[in-house]
Amino acid sequence: MADQITGGCKCGKVRYAGTPLDAAPFRCHCRDCQQLTGSGHTEMMPLAREGFAISETCRIYEMQGGSGQSTYSGFCPDCGAQLIRRSARMGDRVYVHAGSLDDPAQYAPERSIYSDAAQPWDAGSIIKAD
Ligand SMILES: [Zn+2]
Ligand SMILES: [Zn+2]
């Protein structure tokens, strides 16, 4: 596992750095992720909230997660690239979108979540449980 993860948005305004948590990186097929990305799913890398550093304040969109608690999507105010997710329920972590990593090859998704919500045209991307 990589010691340090760095990344940022398309335009370069927002940069972040953090360390991976001992938690599985995952692919999320939920409807929120579809609507927020305009695609079939997100690729989420969990980093430790402690020590997570970000160069600029992201614009934050708040929504209700599946648990009924607030979930926050952070994106660059200039280029709109989605960078982070946080949730009230999992306060010890910040999820970063894998495509925003400086080295996206550091990300290796281990499972799918909300695969029941996957669209037929994206079903091929579901990571099957063993
Ligand atoms: Zn940007
Ligand atoms: Zn999702």
Class of 5-23+42-111 in CATH: mainly beta
Measured from the alpha carbon of residue 56, the closest ligand is 1
What's residue 77's pLDDT? Answer: 97
Separation of CA 104 and ligand 2 centre (Å): 19
Measured from the alpha carbon of residue 30, the closest ligand is 2
Query: What is the domain partition of the chain in residue ranges?
Result: 5-23+42-111
Over residues 108-121, the mean pLDDT reads 96
Separation of CA 67 and ligand 1 centre (Å): 30
Separation of CA 28 and ligand 2 centre (Å): 4
pTM over 0.95: no
**pLDDT for 10-51, tens place per residue?**
999 999 999 999 999 999 999 999 999 999 999 999 999 999
Measured from the alpha carbon of residue 10, the closest ligand is 1
Question: By CB neighbour count within 10 A (0-12 exposed, 13-18 middle, 19+ buried), where does 91 fall?
Answer: exposed
**CA–CA distance, 56 with 83 (Å, rounded to integer):** 12
Average pLDDT value for the chain = 94
